[in-house]
């Protein structure tokens, strides 16, 4: 059963507490810098809303009734809580204005974001940027909980409550150590073979893993090992234990110097889009728009989702 709650006038609550402190409506009006009739009208409106007589107007000045004294105590608590709300909100707003909070999935954070941050700074980017690193699922969660304003993800599917814009392209590659049996393979690995291959993979929620599973398009055998960083996967692959499918950005150095070998894939396209994402229905602040422009020179236009 619902209870009707009147929309109380905070100004009226403030006038009542001033009457209690200063002893008269006229003194309270002067403190609020309003006329005495306006102060009286506010008290009368409050009395009507509460259904109580708060002031004894038969005496000289204004004396609180018994109900008025009780209500005044509650008014002070409400006004104190309101002041706390306003002060805290202003502090949060000032903190947000003093810092741009963004999030990036691990591959983007390691191999693209550093150059974006440098360019943002060179262009006079303000305010300072706080970068949160997580997998794509974590970045999306941080956006939804308003912990960050702008995110960068690798996931192949953007949720409908977010807007997205492509910032870069990428390709996943199957890599092994030079002494792994697949390093000597002459024919490309097929989709079915990859689906049946025990791999060292990133953790559930990683954009790299999601992209692989969507591209394969059929059930895959459980991963041989799950690791929560590209670096850890590369170390394990370098040991010769398992193959892995990782971003070309993440393994470019190892492929150049021969620490890892790319195994060609036949009928499987593992190219993908790297996207900026933000909450639908919100307008990015100027600093976030500036960073997005820095992160996507010449990028493709927004794609429908």
What are the tens digits of pLDDT across the range 35-48? 989 989 999 999 98
Asked whether 205 and 157 are in contact (CB, 8 A), the reply is: no
- Over 70: is that where the pLDDT of 3 sits? no
Q: pLDDT by residue (tens digit) across 148-170?
A: 999 999 999 999 999 999 999 99
- Over 70: is that where the pLDDT of 69 sits? yes
List phi, psi (to 5°) of 158.
Answer: -95, 125
- Average pLDDT of 91-97? 57
pLDDT band at 229 (very low <50, low <70, confident <90, very high): very high
Q: pLDDT by residue (tens digit) across 211-221?
A: 999 999 999 99
pLDDT for residue 304: 34
Domains of the chain: 10-90 (1.10.10.10), 98-168+273-295 (3.40.190.10), 171-271 (3.40.190.290)
49-69: buried (b, 16+ CB within 10 Å) or exposed (e) per residue? eeeeebbeeeeeebbbeeebe
pLDDT for residue 60: 67
pLDDT band at 98 (very low <50, low <70, confident <90, very high): low
What does the H/E/C string look like for the chain?
Answer: CCCCCCCCCHHHHHHHHHHHHHCCHHHHHHHHCCCHHHHHHHHHHHHHHHCCCCEECCCCCCEECHHHHHHHHHHHHHHHHHHHHHHHHHHHHHHHHHCEEEEEEHHHHHHCHHHHHHHHHHCCCCCCEEEEEECHHHHHHHHHCCCCCEEEECCCCCCCCEEEEEEEEEEEEEEECCCCHHHHCCCCECHHHHHCCCCEEECCCCHHHHHHHHHHCCCCCCCCEEECCHHHHHHHHHCCCCCEEEEHHHHHHHHHHCCCEEECECCCCCEEEEEEEEECCCCCCHHHHHHHHHHCCCCCCCCCC
Considering only 7-11, 215-219, 240-244, 265-269, which range has the smallest mean pLDDT?
7-11
Considering only 78-87, 221-230, 264-273, which range has the smallest mean pLDDT?
78-87
pTM of the predicted structure, to 2 decimals: 0.67
Q: pLDDT by residue (tens digit) across 47-60?
A: 988 889 999 877 66
Q: pLDDT by residue (tens digit) across 108-153?
A: 999 999 999 998 888 776 688 999 999 999 999 999 999 999 999 9
**Residue labelled with tokens 């000289």:** 60
């Amino acid at each position: 059963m619902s209870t009707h709650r009147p929309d109380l006038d905070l100004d009226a609550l403030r006038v009542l507490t001033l009457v209690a402190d200063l002893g008269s409506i006229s003194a309270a009006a002067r403190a609020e810098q309003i006329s005495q009739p306006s102060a009286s009208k506010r008290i009368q409106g409050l009395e009507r809303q509460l259904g109580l007589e708060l002031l004894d107007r038969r005496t000289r000045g204004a004396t609180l009734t018994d109900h008025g004294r009780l209500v005044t105590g509650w008014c002070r608590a409400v006004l104190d809580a309101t002041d706390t709300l306003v002060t805290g909100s202003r502090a949060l707003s000032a903190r947000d204005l003093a810092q741009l909070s963004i999030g990036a999935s691990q591959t983007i954070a390691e191999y693209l974001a550093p150059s974006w941050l440098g360019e943002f700074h060179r262009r006079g980017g303000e305010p300072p940027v706080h970068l949160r690193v997580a997998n794509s699922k974590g970045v999306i969660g941080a956006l939804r909980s308003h912990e960050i304003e702008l995110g960068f993800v690798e996931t192949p599917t953007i949720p409908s409550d977010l807007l997205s814009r492509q910032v870069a392209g990428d390709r996943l590659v199957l890599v092994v150590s030079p002494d792994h049996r697949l390093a000597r393979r002459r024919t490309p690995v097929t989709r079915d073979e990859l689906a049946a291959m025990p791999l060292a993979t990133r953790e559930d929620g990683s954009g790299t893993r999601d992209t692989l599973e969507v591209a394969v398009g059929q059930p895959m055998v459980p991963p041989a090992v799950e690791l929560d960083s590209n670096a850890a996967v590369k170390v394990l692959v370098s040991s010769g234990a398992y193959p892995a499918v990782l971003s070309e950005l993440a393994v470019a150095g190892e492929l150049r110097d021969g620490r890892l070998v790319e195994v060609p894939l036949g009928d499987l396209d593992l190219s993908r889009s790297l996207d900026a994402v933000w909450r639908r229905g919100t307008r990015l602040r100027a600093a976030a728009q500036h960073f997005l422009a820095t992160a996507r020179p010449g990028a493709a236009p927004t794609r429908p989702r």
